[in-house]
Structure 1
Amino acid sequence: MAIRIAASRLPLLLLALAAGRAHAHPPGLSSLDLALKPDHIEATATFALQDIEAFVPMDSDLDAEVSDAEREAAKPAIAKLLAEQLRISADGTELQSQPGQASFDGRNNAQVQMVYPAAAQRQLRLQSGFLGLLPDGHQQYLTVRDAAGKTLAEKMLGRNDDQLDLTLAAAADTAAPQAAFAAFGDFFKLGIEHILTGYDHLLFLFALLAVTHSLWPALKIITFFTIAHSITLACAGLRLVELPGSFVEPFIAATIIYVGLENIIRGAHPKGRHWLTFGFGLIHGFGFAGVLQEMNISAADSGILLPLLAFNLGIETGQIAVAALVLPLIWWLNSQVATAGRFLKGGSVAVSLMGAFWLVERTML
């Protein structure tokens, strides 16, 4: 009796968990780039528009839509807000920014460029005060470069750690080996967090694994998914191939629907599941890359390679951990004659319904 109850309620549990994700907003991501020029400092801050709108309302006529004219009118206020919240000191002297310039890109990001008319020779101190206004969990990727473009420091800032103190003479000598690895752990952790909170990716993986009964088929599925999304994550991160989020996110929802329906129609032993996994995994890789693109660190240079590797390793670690937890349960349920059919069909119906909800949400809502 206990087995029957667990199997019958599992699809509802999956649907409830996924629905919770649909109404939740993941922590924001942003970037801050500092370029130390011989006679001035240039700062570029990039935030998602939704992070800015809470402090600089753009819908001035309250018609629930933000027009191009309203966005343009909000640019000075956005630039002023970020310039006031970013504090930079050079050699013990706090600097004042010249009037900043705000712009918008095609990914719903706001970018503010600020110039500080002084140079730092020995010591640089930075505090990103805007993080204290944002929800707890917001992460900001900070990069400091010298006039030649050499990376002097990298750090992941947050509400409880929003400062950087940098001794420039020491940084110039040690930055090359140290800056490359400084943020490795941060991006590894970010990859784990992304997969553990990426319920659409996890639901897709569950639907793929739900038909397995042993280690070898499950291992092929996980391996092909890993190879596929690693390929497109690297291509997108290096900007070799780019797809808009307006296409990628609905397509990911469609892959969830398809796999769920295939489980229902073809049953417990669909042929070629690993090849299907590879094809759809390519699309999911572009979804993973969206995190790096939101932080404005995707670029075709060597600076992206280590964060890209760390982020992908974090995704794989989280994915393997989840698979290690759910696979024994899946295999056990599939081995029970009385519950195997209901588990597969019920779980697949729940998966397809959730995928359909996400598809509608990402295309029409």
Structure 2
Amino acid sequence: MISTTKLAISGLFVFLLALSTMSTAHEIRPAIIDLTLDENGSYSIDIQTSVETYLAGIGPDVTDTNNAPQAAEYDRYRAMSEQELMPVFNAFAPDLIRGIQLQADGLDINLAEPNLTLTSEPDLELAREAVITFTGTLPVGSSSLNWQWDEQFGGSALRVSSATGQEVYTEYLQPGVATGPFDITGAVKQSGFSIFANYLVIGFEHILPKGLDHILFVVGLFLLSSRIKPLLWQVSSFTLAHTVTLALGMLGIVTIPAAIVEPLIALSIVYVCVENLWSRNLSKWRPAVIFGFGLLHGLGFASVLTEIGLSPNHFITGLVGFNIGVELGQLTVIALCFLAVGVWFRNKAWYRSYITNPASIAIALMAGWWVFERTVYGV
């Protein structure tokens, strides 16, 4: 009876891990919205996104298109050339326009028909980015703007700037959330606290729920020992390292292509979990190894921030907010691991055999597949 109970607990934990390790090859990322304002009142809105998710009707509750009921339709659109996709997009454009609200001083701006540009050739193994462009002119004397788009289009990072590149406003928006009015005359500056809070959310969400590889790395650290001291040594080493490379990456001092960094991040997960199988305690070299892996993960974090963009006027504030958000996400993962198995079973004689080893094997196998996938097919 005891053996059956132990097997059930072990199987449940591995099953939960397996659910969280679905392939991220078709991960849905937030849209990047660049709103550029000219002195003469004209504007341009460039929305960088995966347009096929909208065409297939995949909502923000889905994090990976492979798991969506519309996965086949999504893949069919991704296989189309720009010329083939254009009629489908044109038919969808009125729905997109209805889902966007742009206001100047509280008055609605009627958007013209958008233009679509695909930035890469069809490849079912890779996410394909597109740019949706709106252009128009604001009413004379406009001093503030509001932006919102429908919840069905998911989260977004809004970046507002002048035609000369001067930052006006930046914010990460949850699905369906409006900005509220923001000044475009330069008279009112965006507060540092709002920047900090915004990037804290971005950092947390990059771990939970979107950072599956980072989640599994932290779980791998937990699995070696559910004791606080060994875990703190590992997490502290990891934190120090990724803080360093996150800053260096954002400053442009260290730049390594994602095609190199992402397979190595997956390989770091494999190493940690394989070591869990033959090491029962924290070895003297493990914190140093974890520090090295933290440098890699920091470069991964930097690529996310580079894509979204940090506010030049609040660079340090945004960087600190993002890093704290990442840390809160990692601590939440550790807390969930303790609640799931650590608190209840860590003192059991069978904990290693039925929790640590099966879970480490499952994670190592999934991460090994990621190494292959990211090396052969790219990020």
Q: What interval of TM-score do these two structures reach, taking the shorter chain for normalisation?
A: 0.7 to 0.9
- Kindly indicate whether the alpha-carbon contact (under 8 Å) linking 1:154 and 1:182 is maintained by their aligned counterparts in 2: no
**Which residue of structure 1 lines up, in the alignment, with residue 356 of structure 2?**
344
- Kindly indicate whether the alpha-carbon contact (under 8 Å) linking 1:31 and 1:141 is maintained by their aligned counterparts in 2: yes
| 1:222-241 CA-partner distances (Å, limit 9, x unpaired) | 11111222233334444444
Q: Which amino acid aligns with 1:34?
A: L
Q: Per the alignment, do residues 189 and 298 of structure 1 end up closer, same or farther by CA in structure 2, a change over 3 Å counting?
A: closer
| 1:235-276 CA-partner distances (Å, limit 9, x unpaired) | 444444444444444333322222222222344354411111
What CA distance in whole angstroms lies between the structure 2 residues aligned with 1:5 and 1:201?
32
**Which residue of structure 2 lines up, in the alignment, with residue 161 of structure 1?**
177
TM-score (norm 1): 0.76
**Which residue of structure 2 lines up, in the alignment, with residue 33 of structure 1?**
34
- Kindly indicate whether the alpha-carbon contact (under 8 Å) linking 2:30 and 2:49 is maintained by their aligned counterparts in 1: yes
**Which residue of structure 2 lines up, in the alignment, with residue 121 of structure 1?**
141
**Which residue of structure 2 lines up, in the alignment, with residue 231 of structure 1?**
244
| 1:191-218 CA-partner distances (Å, limit 9, x unpaired) | 2233232333222222223333644332
What CA distance in whole angstroms lies between the structure 1 residues aligned with 2:157 and 2:202?
11
What CA distance in whole angstroms lies between the structure 2 residues aligned with 1:109 and 1:212?
41
Shift of 1:277: 0.7
**Which residue of structure 2 lines up, in the alignment, with residue 133 of structure 1?**
152
What CA distance in whole angstroms lies between the structure 2 residues aligned with 1:240 and 1:6?
53
Shift of 1:310: 1.2
What CA distance in whole angstroms lies between the structure 1 residues aligned with 2:171 and 2:282?
47
Shift of 1:303: 4.8
- Kindly indicate whether the alpha-carbon contact (under 8 Å) linking 1:298 and 1:304 is maintained by their aligned counterparts in 2: no
Runs of 5+ unmatched residues, structure 2: 59-69, 121-126
Q: Per the alignment, do residues 19 and 124 of structure 1 end up closer, same or farther by CA in structure 2, a change over 3 Å counting?
A: same
| 1:260-308 CA-partner distances (Å, limit 9, x unpaired) | 2222234435441111111122222233345434xx4236944544333
2:196 to 184, 198, 214: 184
What CA distance in whole angstroms lies between the structure 2 residues aligned with 1:322 and 1:64?
34
SS of equivalent residue, structure 1 residue 224: helix
- Kindly indicate whether the alpha-carbon contact (under 8 Å) linking 1:191 and 1:311 is maintained by their aligned counterparts in 2: yes
Q: Per the alignment, do residues 183 and 277 of structure 1 end up closer, same or farther by CA in structure 2, a change over 3 Å counting?
A: same
**Which residue of structure 1 lines up, in the alignment, with residue 206 of structure 2?**
194
SS of equivalent residue, structure 2 residue 208: helix
What CA distance in whole angstroms lies between the structure 1 residues aligned with 2:260 and 2:52?
20
**Which residue of structure 2 lines up, in the alignment, with residue 142 of structure 1?**
158
Q: Which amino acid aligns with 1:212?
A: S
1:311 to 322, 341, 348: 322
The worse-fitting range, judged by mean Cα deviation, of 188-197 and 146-155 is: 146-155
Q: Per the alignment, do residues 239 and 45 of structure 1 end up closer, same or farther by CA in structure 2, a change over 3 Å counting?
A: farther
- Kindly indicate whether the alpha-carbon contact (under 8 Å) linking 2:31 and 2:49 is maintained by their aligned counterparts in 1: yes
Runs of 5+ unmatched residues, structure 1: none
**Which residue of structure 2 lines up, in the alignment, with residue 18 of structure 1?**
17
Task: Confirm or deny that 1:260 pairs with 2:273.
Answer: yes
SS of equivalent residue, structure 2 residue 182: strand
- Kindly indicate whether the alpha-carbon contact (under 8 Å) linking 2:105 and 2:144 is maintained by their aligned counterparts in 1: yes
- Kindly indicate whether the alpha-carbon contact (under 8 Å) linking 1:146 and 1:152 is maintained by their aligned counterparts in 2: yes
Q: Per the alignment, do residues 289 and 54 of structure 1 end up closer, same or farther by CA in structure 2, a change over 3 Å counting?
A: farther
What CA distance in whole angstroms lies between the structure 1 residues aligned with 2:192 and 2:360?
44
What CA distance in whole angstroms lies between the structure 2 residues aligned with 1:6 and 1:194?
35
Identity %: 26
Q: How does 1:52-131 map to 2 (within 5 A)?
A: 52-54=54-56, 65-67=79-81, 70=84, 85-91=99-105, 94-97=108-111, 100-105=114-119, 108-118=128-138, 120-129=140-149, 131=150
What CA distance in whole angstroms lies between the structure 2 residues aligned with 1:120 and 1:231?
46
Q: Which amino acid aligns with 1:133?
A: Q
| 1:82-108 CA-partner distances (Å, limit 9, x unpaired) | 566544344566445566544344773
Task: Confirm or deny that 1:322 pairs with 2:333.
Answer: yes
**Which residue of structure 1 lines up, in the alignment, with residue 232 of structure 2?**
219
- Kindly indicate whether the alpha-carbon contact (under 8 Å) linking 1:34 and 1:41 is maintained by their aligned counterparts in 2: yes
What CA distance in whole angstroms lies between the structure 2 residues aligned with 1:292 and 1:151?
16
**Which residue of structure 1 lines up, in the alignment, with residue 308 of structure 2?**
297
